[in-house]
Amino acid sequence: MGCCFSRQAQTDNSPYPAPVTNAATAPDSLRNITATSPVHPASLSTPRESQHSHARHASHSDFSQAKSVAPNTPLKPLNPSRRCALPTTLNSPATRRARHHVVPLSQPAEAAWTRKRLKRERQDFWDTRTTGRPETWAALRLMVEMLQEGHTGEAQGFLDACGCTCPNGEVWRGVFDDHGEWYKIPEWIVVEPSGLVEVDEEEEDGKSYSEDEIEELKVEKGKGKAVVVEEVVGPAYKVKCRLSNTGQDVVIKVGREEKLGMLVRRLRASTGMYDQKIKVAYLGRILHEHETLESQGWREGHVLNFLVFG
């Protein structure tokens, strides 16, 4: 049985009979509209070929997904007896010729390494990172502080929440962020170096301290005693402080020209949290207590997150 749209014979000697329908008289435009395009044999696949193609695609997808996952090992607790070399040893000629080395920032190599200087050098390291993302460096800084305080589980949870991975469980050997970028932290930033010069406390007390150091001395020596703070003078902000341990919002006044450390001290006096360690976070990064809120991008009316530890 012939199709109504079969084509005409090209010659009179064609073995096929001439069409008897009136399709031959149909307009060319109608024939073009109703004609169907031929299906290429290669586009037709058997069920077995379809399954094979799907398996190929699935295996390639699984391989790509597995390839994108960075290696990760649970963080190891810091060994209290572990010691590392002082950063001054990095000034040797062999080390200076190396591509990657870290040198002290604030004091010359011949200066004595006291605990105060170690703290200052560590702070300078964190504050002068130029590669990578600032929010990742801030998260790593907080994670290292957790490790140093013995809170390995909290440090691991914080690392996972930031999407970072540690291939061997030791952060000073390198950490990767969720974009695959490598962050190298010197061992002396995490582990206590050997050869620190122990200075008498009275001699240390005679020296000048930063606001952060003064605050830590108050917390250490006060041990729960009330700390007297100055009243706000001049124009001030009302800052809503959200505590991570209770979820409570506490409104504290701070002068427009006052440093963040003053706000933290007023919060401690208001809540009685003198023994806990506190870090202030805003828009995914840790703020510095020796700077004002405005200089760090804070806007009036925004909430500050107070991370409370201990």
Quickly tell me which residue has 């008897």 as its tokens. 20
Listing DSSP states for 72-133 in one string gives --PPPPPPTT--B--GGGGGSHHHHTSSS----SSS-TTS---HHHHHHHHHHHHHT--SS-
Residues sharing a CB contact under 8 Å with residue 92, sequence separation 6 or more, in sequence order:
none
Residue 138 has pLDDT above 70, yes or no: yes
Domain region containing 109: 87-190
Residues 186 and 230 in one domain: no
The encoded tokens of residue 283 equal 């828009």
Nearest to 208 by CA among 288, 119, 116, 106: 116
- pLDDT value, residue 75: 93
Evaluate whether residue 80 is within a structural domain.
no
- pLDDT value, residue 88: 61
Evaluate whether residue 183 is within a structural domain.
yes
Residues 118 and 182 in one domain: yes
DSSP state for residue 180 in the 8-state scheme: -
Q: Calculate Rg over the CA atoms of the chain.
A: 35
pLDDT tens per residue, range 229-246: 667 777 899 999 999 888
**C-alpha–C-alpha distance, residues 232 and 255, integer Å:** 6
User: What is the CATH number for 167?
Assistant: 1.20.225.20
Residues 97 and 186 in one domain: yes
- pLDDT value, residue 60: 44
Q: Helix H segments across the chain?
A: 28-34, 47-68, 93-96, 115-127, 134-148, 152-161, 187-190, 201-205, 211-222, 260-271
| Domain stop point among 138, 168, 190 | 190
The structural domain count of the chain equals 3
- pLDDT value, residue 90: 46
Residue 50 has pLDDT above 60, yes or no: no
Give the angle 94-100-105 at the CA atoms, nearest 5°.
90
Residues 169 and 240 in one domain: no
Evaluate whether residue 6 is within a structural domain.
yes
**C-alpha–C-alpha distance, residues 9 and 20, integer Å:** 12
Evaluate whether residue 61 is within a structural domain.
no
Evaluate whether residue 297 is within a structural domain.
yes
Evaluate whether residue 8 is within a structural domain.
yes
pLDDT tens per residue, range 146-190: 898 888 988 898 888 888 999 989 999 999 998 999 999 999 999
The arithmetic mean of pLDDT across residues 93-103, rounded, is 44
Residue 276 has pLDDT above 70, yes or no: yes
**At 302, is the secondary structure helix, strand, or coil?**
coil
- pLDDT value, residue 150: 87
The encoded tokens of residue 90 equal 């990095």
Pick from 161-175, 196-210, 286-300: least confident: 196-210
User: What is the CATH number for 262?
Assistant: 3.10.20.90
